[in-house]
Structures are given as C-alpha cells and as structure tokens.
Amino acid sequence: MGNLILCKSRPAGRPYYVPELGIHLYTAEELSYYIYNHLLLIDESFPDERLFDFLRQLEQDKLEERIRRLREQGAGLYEILYVILQDLRYYSSAELFSFRKQLEQMSLSSAAGRLKAKGDALFARGKYYSALRIYNQILSSDSRDAASPEFASRLWISKGACYARVEDYQEALECLERAYSLNRDSTLPEKMYILNVFMGKDEAPAGLENVITPEKMEQYRSNLENRRKLAQYQGKGLEAAALLDKQEPERTEAFLELLYRWKEEYRRNQTS
C-alpha cells in the first residue's frame, strides 16, 4: 500500500488488485484502508466476484453473504461500503461516523459528478490516460450534466490538462478550444496561448486574435516567464535542485536514481 498499516488478519494467497493505484491488497486492514481513503476511485462494479473471492480468502464468509443479500435487496454502493468497514472493524466509531458523513455528501452528487470526481482523483495521482477515459465516458453519455455547457466545459478543460501533462499540446489546445466555445471562461485564452508557445508559436491561437490584445499578450509573456523561473524550484526541478548539495560520487548516483524513477513514472502513466 505504500503506507505502514498494522495488519493482524491472515493475508490472502491471491491478493485483490487495484488497477487505478497499481497496488495489491493482501489483508482486511488494507481493504479497509483502501475503501476509507480512496472512496472517489470506487464505483458500482466494486462488489463483484473478485471482491467475494478475496473475502473468502480472508475468512469473511458472513460478510460476503451479507453483501450478496444487500445487492439482492437493491442496496446502493455506499451502503455496502459502510457495511464492509463496519464488519472489518479497522476504524473507530468516530472514524466511521466521519466516513458516513462523506458518503452522505457524495450521494447528493449526480452520477456524472461522481464520475468526474473519480477522473480528477486519477489525474491527481498521475493516471492521466485513465482520467481521460473517465472524462470521455461522461462526454459520450446522455446525462443531463454532460449536456450542460458549463459542466461539459469543465470536462474539456480537464481533458486538456491531461493532454498537456503528457505533452500532447495540440490535443490539449483543441480541448481548450472546445471548452471556450461552450463557456467563455476568461482564464482560457492565456492557457491556450501558453500551449501555442509550447508548440513554438508565440502568437494568439486561431480565432482569439481579437480577444488577446497586444497588452494581454505582453502580460501573458511576462506571466509565463515568471512561471518558468518558479518551475526551477518546484516539482521535479525542486527534487533535482535538492541533490546539488551532495558530494561526488553520491551526487551523480542520486541524479541517476532520480532519472530512473522519473522514467518509471512516465512508463506507468503511458500504460495506465
């Protein structure tokens, strides 16, 4: 799981795989932790045969039977998740109360809203292609939210952010153009200009020549230059800068290790 979890239960021989996180769950405690801390990643398909097989390995046959009965009675996903946490008893009563409040808040969101939240959670974890699949799923649906210009615009902006993160700037620009056509968000022209710059074009995107005045263009250039300066000391640049204080040969070894990790992260994002 990547975190220290006190596990008292017997580990499963066949772990439960969570593709969104690229991790395997082996114990009841890890299952509880996953549900409690990654609620946005869990959808209606969660209570399936994979889960039931995992519960049987954990000798949680009564819990499996209870979930099956709840499904037959038409219980929703959130009720089932709460029952799982109750039965596994990893969290305290106060923590379960907090979880219940979170479930109640999420239940007020639409199905499309919950899906977008899942896509946003995947994006935050660097799973850009997985997030794109979620956003496309919503846009291709016939939900009322997807028909809303404001909500659809936010989806196209999110898609654009995914493409920008994988350095497909042309696709990112086209996404923002769609977003701008649906909702004239005043922040989008600058983002579209920056994408143009990343593609070697220091000019206003097509169709925005009358929107981006010369004065705005100068401001955008200044903002971009400031961001570039800050980027030297943020994110990956900050990680690299932190190694400069090391002495040789430790510094070279640390840089090679850091580069290897960045490559592995990139490969995971490409295949997720």
Residue 11: inside a domain:
no
Q: What is the DSSP letter of 19?
A: T
Residues 94 and 116 placed together within one structural domain of the fold? no
Residues 223 and 134 placed together within one structural domain of the fold? yes
Instruction: Give the pLDDT confidence score for residue 226 in this predicted structure.
Output: 81
Residues 115 and 78 placed together within one structural domain of the fold? no
Instruction: Give the pLDDT confidence score for residue 109 in this predicted structure.
Output: 86
pLDDT in tens, the chain (272 residues): 445 555 666 788 999 999 888 899 999 999 999 999 999 999 889 999 999 999 999 999 999 999 999 999 999 999 999 999 999 999 999 999 999 999 999 888 888 999 999 999 999 888 999 999 999 999 998 888 878 999 999 999 999 999 999 999 999 999 999 999 999 999 999 999 999 998 998 898 988 988 999 999 999 999 888 877 766 655 666 566 566 566 677 767 777 777 777 777 766 665 55
Which CATH number does the domain housing residue 194 bear?
A: 1.25.40.10
Helices H / strands E in the chain, number of each:
14, 2
Counted domains in the chain = 3
Question: Residue 28: which residues within 8 A CB-CB, separation 6 or more?
Answer: 7, 9, 58, 60, 88, 90
Of the residues 90, 107, 124, which one is the last residue of a structural domain? 107
Residue 8: inside a domain:
no
Range(s) of the domain holding residue 264: 237-271
Tell me how far CA of residue 181 lies from CA of 150, 151, 154, in angstroms. 10, 13, 12
Residue 118: inside a domain:
yes
Residues 169 and 184 placed together within one structural domain of the fold? yes
Tell me how far CA of residue 241 lies from CA of 131, 244, 248, in angstroms. 30, 5, 15
Residues 262 and 219 placed together within one structural domain of the fold? no
Q: Is the pTM of this model over 0.75?
A: no
Residue 5: inside a domain:
no
Residue 90: inside a domain:
yes
Instruction: Give the pLDDT confidence score for residue 1 in this predicted structure.
Output: 47
Q: Which two tokens stand for residue 157?
A: 């902006």
Tell me how far CA of residue 187 lies from CA of 91, 161, 180, 183, 190, in angstroms. 43, 14, 9, 11, 6
Of the residues 70, 86, 107, which one is the last residue of a structural domain? 107
Instruction: Give the pLDDT confidence score for residue 144 in this predicted structure.
Output: 84
Instruction: Give the pLDDT confidence score for residue 260 in this predicted structure.
Output: 75
Cα(230)–Cα(237) distance, rounded to whole angstroms? 9
